[in-house]
Chains A and B, each alone.
Chain A
Amino acid sequence: MSSKYDVLVIGGGNAALCAAISARRGGASVLVLEGAPKFYRGGNTRHTRNLRCAHDAATEILTGPYTEEEFWQDLLLVTGGQTDEVLARHMIRESKDILNWIVEQGVRWQPSLGGTLSLGRTNSFFLGGGRAMLNALYLTAERLGVDVEYDAEVTDLVIEDGMFLAARLKRPIKGESEIRATSLVAAAGGFEANIEWLKQYWGDAADNFLIRGTPYNRGSILKMLLDKGVQEVGDPTQCHAVAIDARAPKFDGGIITRHDSVVFGIVVNKHAQRFYDEGEDIWPKRYAIWGRLVAAQPDQIAYIIFDSTVVTSFMPTLFPPIAGQTVAELADKLELDPAALEKTVTEFNAAVRPGTFDHTILDDSVTEGITPPKTHWARKIETPPYLAYPVRPGITFTYLGTRVNKEARMLMADGKPSANMFAAGEIMAGNVLGKGYAAGMGMTIGSVFGRIAGREAAKHARN
């Protein structure tokens, strides 16, 4: 293998592969360095399922139009305005073309069959899921002549005056080496699997976080870039965090540890106290807030409490619910104070003003006279067995990243664009996502900026 390439892509997920393919199609020689072994290639893309794109009309796989303006409004809503409007609007405009471009790279779509995710209008679903999508991208990249190396740990980046020169590598068999390239695309993800780094911002609470993706997203490339003068963007405590089953493995539990049952019951902390309105909005819109809410509770643990009447209303779960014939028995099993949980449930039940329950809309079943209220889907919890899922914060990806411009070119601390360094995917997601999340946006950022980064990196290399 040649040690000099036009474009070096560090990372192996959706953003990296879109960059590699787009650079290769732009005429550049391309090397992809994936830090993980082949099975774990692709970082969080392995666990994704869909992509959010603007489109002007319904298609075979999408039930209706999703205009640029609507996408922008959704982004404004979830980020509370913490987004770079120029970049975000640019991304949304480019996302329209990505739907077709990604199909040209061999990725296949499927209609949303499950019915449990109400995203059929805004999001396109990968046939077979994220790993299938990755497999297709890798096949295409390899067919086009992109070189790929696995287990390729980058130990250092040689950068002079904002100009990338070479990457130093440690490989299990080939040993240490240096790879030079005319352009760099950094698409190596966030630092969510780096607990030590997370603890800088979260303190010991981070020890109780579960990481939904691979253990390989340690942010080492991000750290090198920031240390070598690339401008940082984003709040380091902001991340995509959902409440996942506390019994999930520490890393890579992926999608199957999530719970979408919050709206059907109540959520209490280790003192058996409710702490947030469980009926605020429809899942999956509010899905991504519960990770942060649980992270703010003592010992970063909470319990979704419901009863036997609703068990078939949500997706089947990997871990079965914990059950008790009485609220006290359930509390015992959860190691909560039985009297406190009974009191919380009794008070909640007394406050329920039943309306017409309909979990597909913001219905009129509400509570009265308790804090916090439950503003929709409030129903008494009174039919044994009483059931519970223990949940902890499940971190998907972090938002601290490298600042980029519309060309996906990294900006240096002095505000000047780098001559030959580009970034795509989670490593620069914080440019668009100041906080919050809506399903499929991570993939939008990855595909759109990946494609741009590859194109621009190839253009630079050819000049």
Chain B
Amino acid sequence: MHGTRILDEADRLMTVCNSCRYCEGLCAVFPAMEMRRAFSDGDLNYLANLCHSCGACYVDYQFSPPHEFNVNVPKTLAVARAESYAAYAWPQALSGAFARNGLIISVIAALSMAAFILGFAALNDHSVLFGVHTGPGAFYKLMPHNAMAALFSAAFLYAILALVMSVRAFWRDIGTPIGGRADGGSIFQAVRDAGELRYLHGGGVGCYNEDDKPTDRRKLFHHLTFYGFLLCFAATSVATLYHYLWSREAPYPWWDLPVVLGTLGGIGLIVGPIGLFAAKMRRDPALLDEQRYGMDVGFIAMLFLTGFTGMALLVLRETAAMGPLLALHLGAVFALFITMPYGKFVHGIYRFVALVRYAQERRSEAGS
């Protein structure tokens, strides 16, 4: 017996799968499963986070529902995966944030944006808030750079701390020996596997979405979203370096590196989330963890808002709309940062850690 009903069900499925093994070539979950005969809670959470939900095993498996063995691996692991986020959340007192995630994320996002707008309005003259500001330092007329940096650093560092603590708990649970370290080779392998979404390929034909005909669209939109996010992050990092190393103040001209990176990233963060959302709307409900719909959509919406407000700010930064748009953009980014450890963002982190663990297992098996 396991800690939760979904882990009991995952255990049942893994026992069925382990006596069949037809799916072993489809992704990493099944070879990882084959290395075990019994499954601890940690093992099941590991397998759940290794699953990319491509749906191939559901479409390819002879015992999927409506067969009486009722083997639905993608859905069961999706639920187990979502429950694992709460199980490893730090501090544990906030694990409840996963239960009504969509609601919580939207409330926090709304409050953050409102706070920035009100803050700008309270601290600045009307003429400043709705004024036209151009040239270096324009943004800081609304909020001093140091205040901005301090606030976002604090939010970001808190998110990092919470994520590190959560991942530590996860790693201890899925690793043997407990507290064992990851080696560089395995981490490199996991970076490659995560970077190309290797296991969202349905065993080579593409992932499944609305029916039994494979497509690669979800993979494409995920790439746009993920690399869009990374590009935006890079834009912010470069801008920070500009500011402190060369005292060059934002906003920068359109051809400058932070703006180029941010523009490309912003396009990714608009197109990617729209595509992911559309794919989710069409997805076969049999594969979906419908209870966590709010969490998934909430995160997609946050990424979209971040990209969209950022792009709007870029386009309209020399107009009177700049002040309110800056408030909206900063509000969105702030909400994204502080909710990161308590929302769908963590799926990427846990999946990466699971991939490291898998690479490690494969290496030790090959070596033995």
Contacts and interface: CB of A to CB of B under 8 A. Distances in A.
A125 B67 CA distance: 23
A127 B60 CA distance: 9
B26 A39 contact: no
Given A108-B205, A316-B18, A113 B66 contact: no
Given A108-B205, A316-B37, A128 B23 contact: yes
Interface string A272-283: 000000000000
Nearest to A46: B62
A179 interface: no
Contacts of B64: 39
Interface string B60-90: 1111101111000000000000000000000
A128 B15 contact: no
Contacts, number: 83
A252 B70 CA distance: 12
B188 interface: no
Interface string B204-215: 110000001100
A129 B60 CA distance: 7
Contact of B63 (A114, A126, A139, A254): A254
- Residue from A46, A128, A130 with most neighbouring chain B CB atoms (10 Å): A128
A443 to B, nearest CB: 14
A108 B21 CA distance: 16
A299 B67 CA distance: 28
Nearest to B213: A139
A362 interface: no
Contact of A128 (B18, B34, B60, B63): B60
Interface string B18-38: 111111111000010010010
A136 B62 CA distance: 14
A315 B19 contact: yes
Contact of B62 (A108, A249, A254, A312): A254
Contact of B19 (A47, A125, A127, A317): A317
A135 interface: yes
B37 A312 contact: yes
Contact of A135 (B22, B25, B34, B212): B212
Contact of A132 (B68, B203, B213): B203
Contacts of B15: 316, 318
A114 B62 CA distance: 19
Contacts of A139: 213
Nearest to A316: B18
A312 B34 CA distance: 12
B60 A132 contact: yes
A292 interface: no
B56 A128 contact: yes
A131 interface: yes
A296 interface: no
B31 A113 contact: yes
A306 to B, nearest CB: 16
A49 interface: yes
B34 A114 contact: yes
Contacts of B68: 249, 252
A129 B23 contact: yes
B357 to A, nearest CB: 19
Contact of B66 (A39, A312, A318): A39
Nearest to B24: A113
A254 B16 CA distance: 11
Interface in A397-442: none
A136 B31 CA distance: 23
Given A108-B205, A316-B19, A127 B66 contact: no
A317 to B, nearest CB: 5
Nearest to B71: A256
A75 B24 CA distance: 29
Contacts of A128: 22-23, 25-26, 56-57, 60, 203
B204 A135 contact: no
Contact of B60 (A113, A131, A315, A316): A131
Contacts of B31: 113
Interface in B77-124: none
Contacts of B212: 135
A132 B19 CA distance: 18
A135 B66 contact: no
Sorted nearest first, the 6 A-B pairs with minimum C-beta distance are A129-B22, A110-B25, A132-B60, A128-B60, A316-B18, A256-B19
6 contacts: A39-B67, A110-B24, A114-B34, A252-B67, A255-B19, A316-B18
